Every structure is written in structure tokens, then in C-alpha cells.
Amino acid sequence: MSKFSVYSTRLIVLVLLAAGIASCTGSRKAVREPLKEEGAEYLMGKLKEHEVKFKQFSAKFDVTYTADKKKTTVSGLLRIEYDSIIWISITPALGIEAVRFMLTPDSIKYINRLNNSYLQQNFTYINQLINKTLDYDMAQSFLLGNDFSLYESNTFKASIENQQYKLSTTDRRKLRRFVRRSEDDISIPIQSIWLDPESFKISKVMLKEAERDNRKFLATYTEFEDSDGKIIPSEMDFRVETADSKIRISISYSKIQIDKEQTYPFKIPDNYMEIQDLQPVKK
């Protein structure tokens, strides 16, 4: 296992964005009988009906990042205020915070306590880093196993694959009323969503850019927990694949809480140095 580094933190945070304790539901049960064919409109309705609905969400997490046969593992705390804030505190060892991160629909903020630095940028900075279109809605949805809420949903086609329902679409566009002035006309070239036929929870999501080195993002949700009657993914796996590289992020949630009062502290100390990129700063 490689040592924790600021660069590793940067990658973990980005995939977390790319990208949720009462009783455990465990793995999905095998469905023995053939599935009844359903239309895309019906399946999308069931998907929306069974999504995680919340005002505030929090969980402790463990993340394992794997690239080039090297692994980095960190832990931390995730807090989300619906459609407003994604707040992440990363503690690589001994419970001492190394990095604090806050994302809003308009901005990204970052504090590095290892080298007394901070960063403040608008949201387009994320897209420049990962060379891919991402918005707050996508990040929030991936972290909770929900579908994107600001994108059209009437272009999907339904099918059955490996005893799961599958919804597929091309050129899925962001609803015009949600496109910000700073954004280009955002669309998703290819998207597929697999649904568990019993719970109608998302089990897998694939985004693909066929004309761009076959770039692919795959999110898989393998375990779920019941928190106050809400079924929430507790084990998930994100994979980013291009023609030249493969990255894998495995995330495990614990101590999940829904709609509990919480704060999102983010104060930059006066003696911290401002940086323009998420890279180590030599003092």
C-alpha cells in the first residue's frame, strides 16, 4: 500500500465526485422466474419512486483507490445538504484531518492541512481537471445511488439483461431550465442504468464516450442498508477506463444518518497559502 499523498487525495476526491444503520438488507436475491417486460416510462417511474430522498445526509467512509497496481486507502466523513453542499473531511491516519473539501453547484473549495494551503475555484475547474463534463447533480447522485435529477428522462429504452431491467439512452441532455450561463450545452453521449427487479434500486450505471478513446465510467452498487426506512447503498465501486489507464475506487459507508441536524464548517486560516491547483506546495 502506498503512503497517503496530496495527489492521491486529489484523485480520490475527483472520483468521489464523478460519483450512501438500522438493519442490513444484504446482497440482492437471485430472481428465478423470467422477468416481465416493462416499458421505459414505467421503469423510470419506479426508479424515481425508490430513490433516496433526503434533506441532509452523513456517513463515515473508507475509500480504496487503485491505479497502476498501487493502492491507497483513506477514511473520512461525508456530509451532504441536498442540492447545496457536498462536504468531505479526509483523515488518512490516527483520526487527524489532512484535507477538507466542499463542493457547491457553483464552486469547489479545498483546505490542505499538510502544507497549510487552500484552493477556491468555480465549478468549471473540476471539468478542466478530469477533462470531462461533470456537474453537482451528477456528483450527488453517484454518491447516493440515485439517477440524475436535472436531465431529461424521456429518451430511455427498456430491455432485460442478466435478470435485471436495463434502461439505455444516447445524447441525454440537461434540462434547459437548469443549464447555467457558465455551462455549455451539457449532454451525456451514452448512458445505461441497470435496476434490481425487486427493489428498483440502481445496481449499476455506465457512462461512455465512444468517440473519445472509449472513455467509460462504471458505478456499481453491491450492498444496501435500511436507515430510517430509506434503502441506501453502503458498498459501491467506481471504475474509470480509457485506452491508456484504469482507475478503481471502492467506497464503504458506515454510521449512515438521514436528516439529522449537522453543520458544514469551512474556515480558511489566515496563514494558509492560496494555490491554483490541487498539487503539493513546497514551503
- The model's confidence at residue 28, banded by pLDDT at 50, 70 and 90, is very low
- The model's confidence at residue 211, banded by pLDDT at 50, 70 and 90, is low
Q: How far apart (Å, rounded) are the C-alpha atoms in residues 138 and 51?
A: 14
Q: Which residues does residue 204 pair with via DSSP β-bridges, in sequence order?
A: 194, 220
Size (the chain), residues: 283
Helix H or strand E segment including 101 = strand 99-103
Residue 69 class from Cβ within 10 Å (0-12 exposed, 13-18 middle, 19+ buried)? Answer: exposed
Find out whether 136 and 105 touch, Cβ atoms under 8 Å.
Answer: yes
Q: Output phi, psi for 40, to 5 deg.
A: -60, -40
Write out pLDDT tens, residues 215-249: 889 999 999 999 888 999 999 999 988 878 888 99
Q: How far apart (Å, rounded) are the C-alpha atoms in residues 55 and 134?
A: 22
Look at 79-83, 108-112, 175-179, 276-280 and tell me which has the smallest mean pLDDT. 276-280
Please identify which residue in the block is written with the cell numbers 439529522. 260
Q: Read off the pLDDT of each residue in 159-178 and give the average, rounded to a whole number.
A: 92
Helix H or strand E segment including 202 = strand 202-209
Note the pTM of the prediction, 2 decimals: 0.84
Instruction: Tell me the three cell numbers of residue 143.
Output: 454518491
Whether the predicted pLDDT of 174 surpasses 70: yes
The pLDDT, as a whole number, for residue 125 is 83
Find out whether 49 and 231 touch, Cβ atoms under 8 Å.
Answer: no
**CA proximity to 232, closest of 130, 146, 163:** 146
CA distances for 144 relative to 19, 62, 148, 208, angstroms:
9, 15, 11, 20
Write out pLDDT tens, residues 136-168: 999 999 999 999 999 999 999 999 999 999 999
Write out pLDDT tens, residues 260-274: 999 999 999 999 999
Find out whether 230 and 52 touch, Cβ atoms under 8 Å.
Answer: yes
Label residue 189 left, alpha or beta by phi (over 0 means left) and psi (-120 to 50 means alpha).
Answer: alpha
Whether the predicted pLDDT of 183 surpasses 80: no
Q: Read off the pLDDT of each residue in 79-107 and give the average, rounded to a whole number.
A: 92
Q: Locate the domains of the chain by residue range.
A: 6-274
- From the candidate CATH numbers 2.60.40.1180, 3.40.50.2300, 2.50.20.10, 2.30.30.100, the one assigned to the domain spanning 6-274: 2.50.20.10
Angle at alpha carbon of residue 181, lines to 124 and 121, rounded to 5°: 25
- The model's confidence at residue 209, banded by pLDDT at 50, 70 and 90, is confident
Residue 2, SS3 per DSSP:
coil
